[in-house]
Amino acid sequence: MRLLPRNDIFFELFTQSAAIQVAASGKLRELFAANPDQRNPIAETIKTLERQADEITHELVNRVDRSFVTPLDREDIHLLGSRLDDIIDRIDGLARRSMMFHLGEAPEGVIAMAAVVERSGLQLQEAVRVLPDGKTRVVLAACLEVKRLEEEGDALYHHWMGRLFESATDPLHVVKWKEIYDTLEKTLDEQDDVANVLESIAIKHG
């Protein structure tokens, strides 16, 4: 049973944005796993996805402004749309840093954290997909898994940051990869923020 009033364009745009953050996170994992000389086209693909996400967010804002009745509170539409866009912006920032820093082979921990970002993105996509259908339990279960993955990412962050400082002899190497680890952790935090917004919406309308 659908519990939310339908204006399908909003949910379609949310679904598109959620799909883009999954695609971008998959490309991010691919980028860090790739040989350094093969990363540029992957980074360009991520930039293209980021531009597409910006267009969706812009369309969301325009639709809210033009709609007399919306399926969710206007502030919730703005918040969910902007938070999803934040994730994609952060992923694009990681890709740009990888090129700007001329990074070498990625540490195992970076690839592991990027994989957690992708898995978390898939959970957010599932929550967004079922949001208009009143499947509160499914939404909340997906959001709970995002929170668990954020904790998994935190554990990876602390372990591999410790390894970075213990093993590196080049201070510049440490600075570059510390920035990547920090930004990956922030990406997971922003995915957790989206989960919080989705939980609030699901409970409010459940």
pLDDT of residue 72: 84
> What is the architecture of the domain spanning 8-205?
Up-down Bundle (1.20)
CA 138, CA 136: separation in Å to the nearest integer?
5
The answer, as to whether pTM is greater than 0.85, is yes
Q: At which residue do the structure tokens 């709609």 appear?
A: 67
pLDDT of residue 31: 98
At 187-198, the pLDDT tens digits run 999 999 999 999
> pLDDT tier at 134 (50, 70, 90 boundaries)?
confident
pLDDT of residue 145: 98
How far does CA 18 lie from the centroid of its chain?
8
The mean per-residue pLDDT over the stretch 15-39 comes to: 97
Task: List the Cα angle 98/103/107 in 5-degree steps.
Answer: 100
Residues sharing a CB contact under 8 Å with residue 171, sequence separation 6 or more, in sequence order:
none
What single letter denotes the amino acid at residue 163? R
The mean per-residue pLDDT over the stretch 81-109 comes to: 96
CA 53, CA 27: separation in Å to the nearest integer?
15
At 38-69, the pLDDT tens digits run 999 999 999 999 999 999 999 998 988 887 77
Q: Residue 123 is encoded by which pair of tokens?
A: 């959970």
Is the backbone of residue 134 left (phi > 0), alpha (psi -120 to 50) or beta?
left
DSSP 95-118: HHHHHHTT--SPPHHHHHHHHHHH
pLDDT of residue 158: 97
Is a pLDDT exceeding 50 seen at residue 5?
no
The mean per-residue pLDDT over the stretch 77-106 comes to: 96
Q: What phi, psi does 182 have (nearest 5°)?
A: -60, -40
